[in-house]
A = this chain, B = another copy of it.
């Protein structure tokens, strides 16, 4: 079973990551070893490539190109953000049949898992033998049924480095610029915002404050938190989710025109700009802002080697699963017990993954809602690969005043 000879098609979907091409190369490399697989096709711009019958012949790609892609961020086949309609699915299946596609791999997040699931179901309904397997991918790390998602580790490494670097800068500035807010991706899930904790390399270093979207927080607490950091450390570095919100669940800065904040002031600007304006009004100090934006998911120079290898193996594993007869499943990572980090690949039903958001659980967020717990640090530490290179600090023995 599952050995029906036919063509393979693979696509990349949703937001790119720094290692998503490793999953693509993993699929290709494994496909090239399998006799049951004839054509190895890539969808241009994800499912849109199937709709428009735009496939590229991946057997034509050189080994050198594939090797380079292992260090190349963003989706080499192009990606798409398109919500597939019910009407599309019938056509998608007909296209797969027309191109004799028996092996379907979609590298993406929970929307893409939904697409893969529906294609799988339709093929079953129509009695067409198709092996459809999802390969997880998201810097948001919000897919269910897996310990973590390929792409997250590299984004985590970048944001940890970013917050450490800008934190050192902020410490150096002293009174000339003592507050730094860094906006982190993940509107609904705070995994990446939490991962900035790995940039903290001294007890008094940043990030001092971490605000995740899972836990609402009052403006008064934020002001008090920042003030306490200034008092304790002389500077304050905060990692703030783009989806940080108040205790009523409303995102900061999404207040509509002329709405007043808890302090009775009007303020404009979204999210982190809003909070910086809050600090300026309440403490009289300008909070400087970094918005690394899309660098978080694309910065090739800080790829996590663990993430890179896992993304690759996820691709290979997906092909092996399909060849073993599986369909309607997503590759998962299962962390193995023991003191050394290790994962095993598994499979989960796509129906349990599709459209589900796996958020940061309560035990990973500290009581005050402004940081993460030791359990979270243990969870996330191995995913960024080797620790960040050590930085130095002067001992600063003061010369006795004359």
A126: Cβ under 8 A from any B Cβ: no
Q: Which of A60-68, A103-111, A221-229 contacts B (4 or more CB under 8 A)?
A: A60-68
Query: Is A300 a contact partner of B398 (Cβ separation < 8 A)?
Result: no
Q: Which of A348-402 contact B (CB under 8 A)?
A: 388-399, 401-402
Known: A168-B72, A393-B76. A399 touches B57 (CB 8 A): yes
Which of A165, A171, A174 counts the most chain B CB atoms within 10 A?
A: A165
Contact of A392 among B18, B66, B172 (CB under 8 A): B66
A166: Cβ under 8 A from any B Cβ: yes
Chain B residues closer than 8 Å to A76, beta-carbon distance: 172, 392-394
Known: A161-B301, A172-B78, A389-B300. A295 touches B401 (CB 8 A): no
Query: Is A395 a contact partner of B290 (Cβ separation < 8 A)?
Result: no
Give A165 to B300 CA distance when docked, in angstroms: 7
A59 to chain B, nearest CB (A): 9
A80: Cβ under 8 A from any B Cβ: yes
Query: Is B176 a contact partner of A68 (Cβ separation < 8 A)?
Result: no
Give A58 to B395 CA distance when docked, in angstroms: 9
A166 to chain B, nearest CB (A): 5
Contact of A391 among B53, B71, B398 (CB under 8 A): B71
Chain B residues closer than 8 Å to A290, beta-carbon distance: 291-295
Contact of A80 among B66, B176, B397, B399 (CB under 8 A): B176
Query: Is B162 a contact partner of A295 (Cβ separation < 8 A)?
Result: yes
Residue interface bits A82-107, CB-to-B below 8 A is 1, else 0:
10000000000000001100000000
